[in-house]
Amino acid sequence: MSNILDARFLKEFVQIADEMYRHGWDERNGGNISMLLDGNELDAFRPDQGPIRRMPTGFSAPVLEGKTFLVTGTGKYFKNMLDDPESNVGIVRLSDGGRNAELLWGFSDGGSFTSEFPAHMMSHAARIGIDPLHRVVMHCHPTNLLAMTYVHDLDERLFTRTLWQMSTECVVVFPDGVNVLPWMLCGTNEIGQATAEKMKTARLVVWAQHGIYGAGRTLDECFGLIETAEKAAEIYLKTAHLPIRQTITDAQMHQLEKRFGVRARSGYLAPEKADFRKKD
């Protein structure tokens, strides 16, 4: 069996975690990542022994039965991921309808999966139902998006439109918009269930006064979603107190839809005006 520390998926995972830390999104032990592993990734690095130990998850997710995830650990600092992945991340396989997780590798210091594991797994279950190619859930605390939840209306349509108007690429990168949850106690099944419900209609879910959840097919896609929304929030905070002389209009966003083959979330833009001019 090959050394799992040489696995490309593990290297990419810890590199993304390090990049998130360097962006200032994951202070201390804030934030967590989980990635669904496929058979090809596991075949070359499958442990030659049974589960190291079993850990109760505290929830049920039958659709994830038998699925295997690479996940960050509870209380772990993202700044340490690159140097010591075996202590800071683990590979777990869900069993018993998701009620237990079998540790296959990692958490070598006796640790466990992130306290946000229920929210991650419930979000995975929701996104797989929308997109069979879905694989990644990422949670972090981007400074500007977090600050925005203190000063901006939390209505999802208004929140999304503000972000779309801050940068031309936004409606292209996240045409499904951004969903928003009011403040809720973190690390609970209740916030996990609420986040999963929001994940059915958007890949980005903001937790007011806390952070954001992102979902995607790859680590890069998920990171890029959050990065784009965070930059838009930064532009908003830098301009909100100034007189706005021009912005990206709904008509221009309809042009972007056509140019890039995307469709903005229904009802979030003003209807495109029909052209009644006579044609030759």
Q: Is 183 found in the same domain as 139?
A: yes
In angstroms, the first-to-last Cα distance of the chain is 70
Q: Is 231 found in the same domain as 159?
A: yes
Contacts of 87 (CB under 8 A, 6+ apart): 73, 76, 80, 106, 107, 108, 109, 111
Q: Are 111 and 80 in contact (CB under 8 A)?
A: no
Q: How far apart are CA 218 and CA 198, in angstroms?
A: 20
pLDDT of amino acid 279? 44
Q: Are 9 and 35 in contact (CB under 8 A)?
A: yes
The total domain count for the chain is 2
Whether pLDDT at 42 is above 90: no
Q: Is 60 found in the same domain as 122?
A: no
Domain that holds residue 42: 1-115
φ, ψ dihedrals at 177, nearest 5°: 80, -165
Tell me which of 37-51, 53-67, 70-84, 206-220 is least confident. Answer: 37-51
pLDDT of amino acid 278? 42
CATH of the domain at 132: 3.40.225.10
Beta strands at 211-216 and 204-207: parallel, antiparallel or unpaired: antiparallel
Last residue of a domain, one of 89, 115, 141: 115
Q: Which of 41, 102, 116, 227 is catalytic?
A: 116
Binned at pLDDT 50, 70 and 90, residue 272 comes out as confident
pLDDT of amino acid 276? 38
pLDDT of amino acid 277? 42
Whether pLDDT at 280 is above 60: no
Number of Cβ within 10 Å of residue 171's Cβ equals 28
- pLDDT (tens digit per residue) in 10-40: 999 999 999 999 999 999 999 999 999 987 7
Last residue of a domain, one of 64, 99, 115: 115
Q: How far apart are CA 125 and CA 123, in angstroms?
A: 5
Q: Is 255 found in the same domain as 124?
A: yes
**Selection from 207, 204, 160 nearest residue 182 by Cα:** 207
Binned at pLDDT 50, 70 and 90, residue 112 comes out as very high
Tell me which of 3-7, 91-95, 273-277 is least confident. Answer: 273-277
pLDDT of amino acid 48? 54
- pLDDT (tens digit per residue) in 118-155: 999 999 999 999 999 999 999 999 999 999 999 999 99
Q: Is 183 found in the same domain as 85?
A: no
* Percentage of the chain lying above the pLDDT 90 cut: 88
In the residue annotation, 41 being an active-site residue is answered as: no
What does the mean pLDDT of the chain come to? 93
